[in-house]
Amino acid sequence: MSDHPMDERAAKLLGGTSSRRRFLRDTTLTAVVVGVATACKNSAAAKPIAQSAAGAAPIPSGSTAVPAISPADAMDAMHEKGIKAFPAATAGKGNQLIEPRIHDGVKTFELTARKIRWETAPGNFVEAWAYNEQVPGPQIRVREGDRVRVILHNELPESTAIHFHGLELPNAQDGVPFITQPPVKGGQSYTYEFTVPNAGSHMYHSHHNSAKQVGLGLLGAFIVEPKVKGPHDDPDVDQVFILNDGAHGYTFNGKSFPATAPLVAKLGQKLRIRFMNEGMMIHPMHLHGMHMTVIAKDGWPLSSPWKCDTLNVAPGERWDVVVNCNNPGTWAFHCHILPHAESDHGMFGMVTALVVQE
């Protein structure tokens, strides 16, 4: 098991333009080619297809001549351009695993909240309020029973505080200003310390002026591995998948299509996805090609797992699912509220792909 082999692969894949191109060639484009080929093998086209997927004519610009391209073809060209750009490189990457300092058996994580510039999609820069300059913030991953210290440094223009959403902490560590602690003012630091009480897929986020602060990016995953492993705690790929829909638009792990990271697994591997919704709307996540088996809600294992291809994730919820990656190809994976995923300019926002490599 690797906690996030996909991240490692994606880092390699996205490391340079040439390797990104290789990724596209190896996965998405291959899929397109295979798709066309298979379709042809099946005598798919009852009439000849005049124009291949890659054959759309470019839109002429700066020309006074009447364009030769029809509005329908122009639309297709925009759609194709978006998909060909996937996965697009952008500055910054959220949800990176943070290593604790360990001293006297206490795992210490430091989080600095600061205003940054964040690129959600190529060229789309927004203001973000971020932990350690990441949206989502660094992924904290500990074990049930660990002693943990989280030191928050507030460099924001207003007060803040951290709530550990889903952890059943002593009241003083719950992170709600004026109920369990004073607000942490700009320029101040504050330390949370606790023994991790319950396993599962949890979150940390601001609980002060939170509609604004969480919307701007003060959020992250807090994963607690159980003391006693269950049947799904050693997946081949383990992926945190945070949904948001606030000031940064429709995002997966802080990025919008085509800059969303694909999920990548090899044929036959077991993929665990930890959905978390930090937004204000539901997002029914639809996976093509394979079903998901729902194994936990808010970190609590289900005694009766159930299967689906469309999982409705509401704000504040976490749902853990496993996918047996038994169907090779590049599979669309998106919110099924279609205006969160596609316009007549092509796919955008809450779209990514699960790539099952043979």
Show contacts with a copy of itself in window 178-217 (CB under 8 A). 178-183, 185-186, 188-193, 198, 207-212, 214-215
- Segment (H or E) for 356: strand 351-357
For a copy of itself, the closer of residues 116 and 308 by Cβ is 308
Determine if 172 is a binding residue for a copy of itself (CB under 8 A): yes
Task: Evaluate whether 268 touches 325 at the Cβ level (below 8 Å).
Answer: yes
* Residue 133 sits in the site that holds a copy of itself (CB under 8 A): no
Of the pair 100, 315, the CB lying nearest a copy of itself is at 315
Beta strands in 155-299 (DSSP E): 162-165, 189-195, 200-206, 219-225, 237-244, 251-252, 263-266, 270-277, 283-287, 292-297
Of the pair 214, 223, the CB lying nearest a copy of itself is at 214
Closest approach, Cβ 216 to a copy of itself, in A, equals: 12
Nearest 5°: phi and psi at 293? Answer: -105, 120
Q: Shortest Cβ distance from residue 291 to a copy of itself (Å)?
A: 7
Angle at 273 between CA 132 and CA 202, to 5 degrees: 50
Judged by beta carbon, residue 92 or residue 261, the one nearer a copy of itself is 261
Instruction: Tell me if residue 267 falls in helix, strand or coil.
Output: coil
Residues in 311-350 that interact with a copy of itself by CB under 8 A: 312, 314-318, 327-332, 336-339, 341-344
Residues 39-58 touching a copy of itself, rule: CB under 8 A, are 39, 42-47, 49-53
Per CB under 8 A, does 226 bind a copy of itself? no
159 to 184, 238, 351: CA distances (angstroms): 5, 34, 34
> Strand, helix or coil at 272?
strand
Q: Report yes or no: 111 and 162 within 8 Å, Cβ to Cβ.
A: yes
Size of the site for a copy of itself (CB under 8 A): 112
Q: Within positions 98 to 127, which residues make up the interface with a copy of itself, using CB under 8 A?
A: none
Looking at the Cβ atoms of 35 and 236, the one nearer to a copy of itself is: 35
Scan residues 61-80 and list those touching a copy of itself (CB under 8 A). 71-73, 75-76, 79-80
The C-alpha R_g of the chain, in whole angstroms, comes to 22
Q: Rounded to 10 degrees, what is the CA torsion of 248, 85, 243, 302?
A: 180
Q: How far is the CB of 11 from a copy of itself (least distance, A)?
A: 23
Q: Write the binding mask 259 to 288 for a copy of itself: x where contact by CB under 8 A, - elsewhere.
A: ---------------------xxx-x-x-x
Judged by beta carbon, residue 92 or residue 192, the one nearer a copy of itself is: 192
User: What's the rounded Cα separation, in Å, for the pair 302 and 304?
Assistant: 5
What is the maximal distance between C-alpha atoms in the chain? 74
Concatenated DSSP letters for 39-80? HHHTT--SS---S-TT-PPPPP-S--SPPSS-HHHHHHHHHH
Task: Pick the stretch among 13-21, 231-239, 258-266, 291-299 that binds a copy of itself (CB under 8 A).
Answer: 291-299
Residue number, 2 or 191, with CB nearest to a copy of itself: 191
Q: Count how many Cα atoms sit within 13 Å of the Cα of residue 230 in the half-sphere of its side chain.
A: 16
**Which residue lies nearer to a copy of itself by CB, 193 or 236?**
193
